[in-house]
Structure 1
Amino acid sequence: MRNKVCELTFLSLAFFSRLLGSFPRISLSFLTLSLLQACTSIPELKPAAGLGEVLKFLAEKHNICGVAVAVVRAGKVEQTETASACRGLSPIDSNSIFQAASLSKPVFAYVVLKMAQQGKIDLDAPVMRYLPQGYFSRPYPFLSNFDAKTSPVTDPRLSVTTVRMLLNHTSGLPNWSDGPLGFDFTPGSHWQYSGEGYVLLQRAVEAITRTRLDVLMDSYALRPLAMNDSSYVWRSEFEGHFQRGDNGQDNSTLTFSEPIAPATLYTSAKDYGRFIAEVVADKNLIRTTLASAVPVDESLHLSWGLGWGIEQTANDTLIFQWGNNPGYRAFAIASAKTGDGLVILTNSEDGMALAEPITKFVLPGEHPVFRFYMLQEGVAGVLCATLGVCP
């Protein structure tokens, strides 16, 4: 409890010192000393703390060995910051490479929308138009290899599943399947997060272009956006910059040799910041994304568009996505109105603890997305999902 109070105190002081830029320093200094007197475990803090100091504080608080943040302002990458609470591990900088987990999805969706603009794919066409030979799935594709057993998807509902439904998670497919793939409900009837849906769409896109996904993503997005430290498959040149999962301790970190659209992006904070900057600067893309929104949690004003979650606040509309791979957590959010945003990449399963305070520091105000059950972990996640008791 004491640490939580200290953390909130520090973040509040940092925020107000930015807000009250011309406020006398001596007053803020006195307030800092008074309020933080009891926080003996926290070093002396500057009243006008910047993002780097906030990030370092939070990394130490939650024992995060690797975290990188990129901040976008008005559609341009303004700054990158990194922090580590550990010694003796790989050094971290703005080019350090992490697994982005589900932050892979918006980049893939971006390419699909670009293809739609070029007339190469129809968002409202049944996806099976592009897979006339049928669709064969395999359990947990990001965990298996090329030789894993596949099985045909025979559910007749596959024939009415459109590209748009796959992008906004209304296909009726589960997130992941551990056996033959089937539908949980009628496509288009409501929202349910689905990695399987993005894999299906990946196969359609590969069929259209006759190109494997990693090569396609390089051509359509990563190279044009100068995302030079990014790839949907592991590359040997990443080794010197790669942040191993589970705070650098996990020697069994997954290495992705096959590209899987919803899960296997390797990237740096600087690179993903460039991607966010491109998305918020492309007004046609933002309009298309927001126009296809479907309800997710009306009590939190959350919906889902084409490739991004959507958070509606009193004064803004924001797009967001979280990432959750074994040993990694990530989060990205940006304002469709101002072009401001950020990405957070961590090599820890405790990394989501940094997402809300960092987001509020960069984008002040309440963000109901952090009360969404899919962002809750551990016991808190169970209570939130089953009983609706969310922090």
Structure 2
Amino acid sequence: MPSSRVPPSRRRVLSAARLPVVLLSVLLAGCAWPGCPAPAPLHQPETLQVLAERHHVCGVVVAVIRDRQLASIETASACAPPATLAPDSVFQAASLSKPVFAYAVLKLVAQGKLDLDTPVMTYLPQGYRHQRNLLTPEPSDLVTDPQLAAITIRMVLNHTSGLPNWTSGVLRVGTAPGTTWNYSGEGYVLLQRAVESVTGQPLDRFMAAQVFQPLGMNHSDYACNERVAKNLLPGTKANGAPRAAMTLTNPNAAFSLHTSAADYAKFLVALMNDDALLTQSTASPVAVDPALGISWGLGWGMERGRDDATIWHWGNNTGYRAFAMASVRSGDGFVMLTNSENGLELAPPLAQKILPRQHTVFQSPILGTDLLNVLCNTLRICL
């Protein structure tokens, strides 16, 4: 997710400065920029079904967590005919892949197999080959930037590695490792290779053994296969029309997780009930946007209030949007998975209803602006 969402070849994001004038006023009326008002409270009649219909979201499944336990799962569909939805319906979770991978990495740290402040390259004595196309193993090239040796596991998890989000060219470290927050999917792939080297397992098998099987996440995998594909909902555009989504058969720690809302809730409940791991994930966040109180822990974005910290992450793959959020103090939260490029429109009102307070993440440019969605939602040009 997301920017954190997806590789440049899969992103269609444009800054406000480059948008045509005809679209600029539309964008400024939304809540994608710092200083815009907090989302209005969700009125009682605005059920999940009403929200799905308003935003043309074909399929959405929301798992609600109360007091660190799964409380309910709700579904809605604005398709015609309605999509068949269930707690175990599978979606591409996009960048929600990262917190689950971070959880597994911290498990390895607890087992003494990894050290957070050891350079990642310590675990890759043969060097690191960078994939120029993230969907295929080749072409690839051996990274020669000497700054790579300074990147620690902690820096990857909190996005201070200095690596770009994605690049199809030569991979270079852009800023000195450990000095600047910059969301990086490339960093997570680097750490993925180290984990595979240490465990002797490819990512999908490692995650199954370390996380999915112990937590009973029976509808989750980091690669699309026959088991998850039978429950996978196809992706859709912002207007609900079908979108030809990517088939993710090569496991990628940053964006290839396939999961259900029920499964992802099991993971989030496990995290919220693991005091040591939750504390480690949130104890020393790095600043992202101090004016909005946004920082980044080990695997999660964070909002900090007077007496609470809220962890969150979002996902953005072609045809899919996802969001997860939880309060560290109360243990309340939710997981939202959608098969719609308009899916993130549902996150602010859901957050306000389930965790009723001002959520500054929705005022931040971190979530970005998707030009295709702007064209589709405002001008009805749905490419």
TM-score (norm 2): 0.84
Superposition deviation, residue 252 in structure 1:
2.7
Alignment-derived partner of residue 145 in structure 1 = 136
1:253 equivalent among 229, 245, 250: 245
Alignment-derived partner of residue 174 in structure 1 = 164
Q: 1:128 to 1:251 in 2, by over 3 A?
A: same
Distance in 2 between residues matched to 1:177 and 1:117, nearest whole Å: 32
C-alpha offsets along residues 349-368 of structure 1, whole Å, 9 cap, x if unaligned? 11110000011101101000
Distance in 1 between residues matched to 2:294 and 2:76, nearest whole Å: 31
Show structure 1 runs of 4+ deviating over 3 A: 8-13, 247-251, 378-382
C-alpha offsets along residues 198-244 of structure 1, whole Å, 9 cap, x if unaligned? 00000000000010000000000011111111100112133332111
Distance in 1 between residues matched to 2:359 and 2:373, nearest whole Å: 17
SS at match of 1:223: helix
Distance in 2 between residues matched to 1:295 and 1:347, nearest whole Å: 31
Distance in 2 between residues matched to 1:140 and 1:271, nearest whole Å: 29
SS at match of 2:258: strand
1:352 equivalent among 344, 347, 352: 344
1:187 equivalent among 177, 183, 188: 177
Superposition deviation, residue 11 in structure 1:
5.2
Alignment-derived partner of residue 212 in structure 1 = 202
From the two aligned structures, give the one with the greater helix fraction.
1
Superposition deviation, residue 192 in structure 1:
0.3
SS at match of 1:99: strand
C-alpha offsets along residues 29-69 of structure 1, whole Å, 9 cap, x if unaligned? xxxxxxxxxxxxxxxx5xxxxxxx61101000001000010
C-alpha offsets along residues 287-326 of structure 1, whole Å, 9 cap, x if unaligned? 1111231000001101101111111123320111100111
Alignment-derived partner of residue 223 in structure 2 = 233
Does 2:52 match 1:59? yes
In the alignment of these two chains, the number of paired residues is 337
1:271 equivalent among 263, 271, 277: 263
Distance in 1 between residues matched to 2:228 and 2:151, nearest whole Å: 37
Alignment of 1:35-184 (within 5 A): 45=45, 54-88=47-81, 90-141=83-134, 144-146=135-137, 148-184=138-174
SS at match of 1:206: helix
Amino acid at match of 2:208: D
C-alpha offsets along residues 255-296 of structure 1, whole Å, 9 cap, x if unaligned? 111100010000001111111111111110111111231000
SS at match of 2:73: strand
Alignment-derived partner of residue 232 in structure 2 = 242
In structure 1, runs of 5+ residues without a counterpart are: 15-44, 46-52, 383-391
Q: 1:168 to 1:156 in 2, by over 3 A?
A: same
Amino acid at match of 1:120: K
Q: What root-mean-square deviation, in Å, do the aligned CA atoms of Structure 1 and Structure 2 show? A: 2.2
In structure 2, runs of 5+ residues without a counterpart are: 1-25, 31-37, 375-383
Larger Rg computed on CA atoms: 1
